C-alpha cells in the first residue's frame, strides 16, 4: 500500500513538473499528461523519425574536422587564446556588416555547450549570442527544463558575425569561421553539446540530415555526445513543436544528471 502511495506521489510530482515546464515553454495544455503516459508505456517513435538505428547506438555522423586534426586538440589552448587568435577578424565577408563579433558567452569550463547558427540583429548589437526573443526562449528552456542558468553553460554560434538580413551563412563563411568554434569546443571540452537548428547541425556534424529527422537522437562529435533540437527562433514561429524540444531537453537533462564529477 505504501509502495502504491509512493508511486502515486511520484506521478503527481511528474505531472507538477511537466505542468510547470510546459507552462514556461508555452506548450499546449493537452500534452501535459504525456510524461505520465510515457512513464507507464514509452511512446513509439514518430513516423517521420529514424528507427532505433538512429538512437544512442547509431554510428557517429561524419564530422566537420577529422579527429586528430590540429583544429581539435583538447587542452591545447584556452578560450582566451582562441579569442585572441580570432582578433578583429576579417577572414570572410561577414565582417563588413557587423557591429560586434559574437564570440560566445558562459562558463569556460561548462559541461554543457550550446551551439546555434549565427548572430541576429540583437546579438550583433549586444555582442552576445541568443538575446532578444529567441534568447528569452532559450533561457526558459535552460531554466525550466534543464534546470541550468545561462552562466552555467557555454553558448556559441557556427559563425560569429551576423549574416545580412539574417540569411543562412554561406559555405565559404562557415568554412572560415567553423575552425574557431572547433577550437572553442577543444578549449572548453564540454561533456555534452546541445545543437540548435538545422544550420548548426549540418555544419557542426557535417551531415545532410535535417533537424526534423535528427532531433531527439544522440550524435557524436569527437566523442562528445551531441543532441540536436529545434532552434528557439523556429519554436517561436512553430509553437506546436515546443513539445518535441521539451522531450529532447529532458533527454539532455537525464544525461547531464548521469555525468560523473560535474565541474
Q: Give contact residues for ligand SF4 (rule: CB under 6 A).
A: 86, 89-92, 94-95, 101, 159-161, 173, 176-177
Task: Pick the closest to residue 120 from 161, 178, 177, 172 (CA basis).
Answer: 161
Minimum distance from CB of 30 to ligand SF4 (Å)?
Answer: 42
Q: Please, which residue, 85 or 259, has the CB nearer to ligand SF4?
A: 85
Q: Please, which residue, 72 or 103, has the CB nearer to ligand SF4?
A: 103
Residues 227, 141: contact at Cβ < 8 Å?
A: no
Beta-carbon-side half-sphere exposure of residue 179 (alpha carbons within 13 Å): 12
Q: Please, which residue, 91 or 243, has the CB nearer to ligand SF4?
A: 91
Task: Pick the closest to residue 73 from 183, 190, 230 (CA basis).
Answer: 183
**All three cell numbers of 61:** 555522423
Minimum distance from CB of 160 to ligand SF4 (Å)?
Answer: 4
Residues 180, 160: contact at Cβ < 8 Å?
A: yes
Q: Please, which residue, 83 or 241, has the CB nearer to ligand SF4?
A: 83
Phi, psi (5° rounding) for residue 170?
A: -75, 155
Task: Pick the closest to residue 191 from 211, 173, 218, 210 (CA basis).
Answer: 218
Q: Please, which residue, 196 or 227, has the CB nearer to ligand SF4?
A: 196
Q: What is the DSSP string of 20-42?
A: HHHHHHT--GGGGGHHHHHHHSP
Minimum distance from CB of 210 to ligand SF4 (Å)?
Answer: 23
Q: Please, which residue, 70 or 238, has the CB nearer to ligand SF4?
A: 70
Q: What is the DSSP string of 37-85?
A: HHHHSPPPPPTTS--GGGSTTSPPPP-SS-TT-TT--TTSS-HHHHHHH
Minimum distance from CB of 195 to ligand SF4 (Å)?
Answer: 18
Burial state string for 57-87 with b = 16 or more CB within 10 A and e = fewer than 16: eeebbebbbeeeeebbeeeeeebeebbeebe
Minimum distance from CB of 47 to ligand SF4 (Å)?
Answer: 38
Q: Please, which residue, 27 or 174, has the CB nearer to ligand SF4?
A: 174
Minimum distance from CB of 14 to ligand SF4 (Å)?
Answer: 43
Minimum distance from CB of 224 to ligand SF4 (Å)?
Answer: 22
Amino acid at each position: 500500500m505504501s509502495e502504491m502511495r509512493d508511486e502515486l506521489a511520484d506521478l503527481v510530482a511528474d505531472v507538477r513538473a511537466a505542468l510547470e515546464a510546459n507552462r514556461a515553454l508555452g506548450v499546449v495544455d493537452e500534452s501535459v499528461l504525456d510524461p505520465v503516459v510515457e512513464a507507464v508505456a514509452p511512446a513509439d517513435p514518430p513516423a517521420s523519425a529514424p528507427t532505433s538505428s538512429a538512437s544512442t547506438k547509431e554510428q557517429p555522423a561524419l564530422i566537420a574536422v577529422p579527429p586528430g586534426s590540429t583544429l581539435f586538440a583538447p587542452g591545447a589552448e584556452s578560450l582566451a587564446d582562441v579569442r585572441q587568435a580570432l582578433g578583429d577578424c576579417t577572414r570572410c565577408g561577414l565582417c563588413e556588416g557587423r557591429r560586434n563579433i559574437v564570440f560566445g558567452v558562459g562558463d569556460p569550463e561548462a559541461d554543457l555547450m550550446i551551439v546555434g547558427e549565427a548572430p541576429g540583429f540583437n546579438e550583433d548589437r549586444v555582442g552576445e549570442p541568443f538575446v532578444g526573443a529567441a534568447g528569452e526562449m532559450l533561457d526558459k528552456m535552460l531554466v525550466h527544463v534543464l534546470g541550468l542558468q545561462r552562466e552555467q553553460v557555454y553558448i556559441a554560434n557556427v559563425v560569429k558575425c551576423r549574416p545580412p538580413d539574417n540569411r543562412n551563412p554561406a559555405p565559404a563563411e562557415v568554412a572560415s569561421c567553423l575552425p574557431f568554434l572547433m577550437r572553442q569546443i577543444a578549449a572548453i571540452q564540454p561533456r555534452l553539446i546541445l545543437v540548435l537548428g538545422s544550420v548548426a547541425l549540418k555544419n557542426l556534424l557535417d551531415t545532410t540530415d535535417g533537424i526534423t529527422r535528427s532531433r531527439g537522437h544522440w550524435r557524436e562529435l569527437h566523442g562528445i555526445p551531441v543532441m540536436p533540437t529545434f532552434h528557439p527562433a523556429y519554436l517561436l514561429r512553430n509553437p506546436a513543436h515546443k513539445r518535441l524540444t521539451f522531450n529532447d531537453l529532458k533527454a539532455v537533462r537525464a544525461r547531464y544528471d548521469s555525468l560523473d564529477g560535474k565541474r
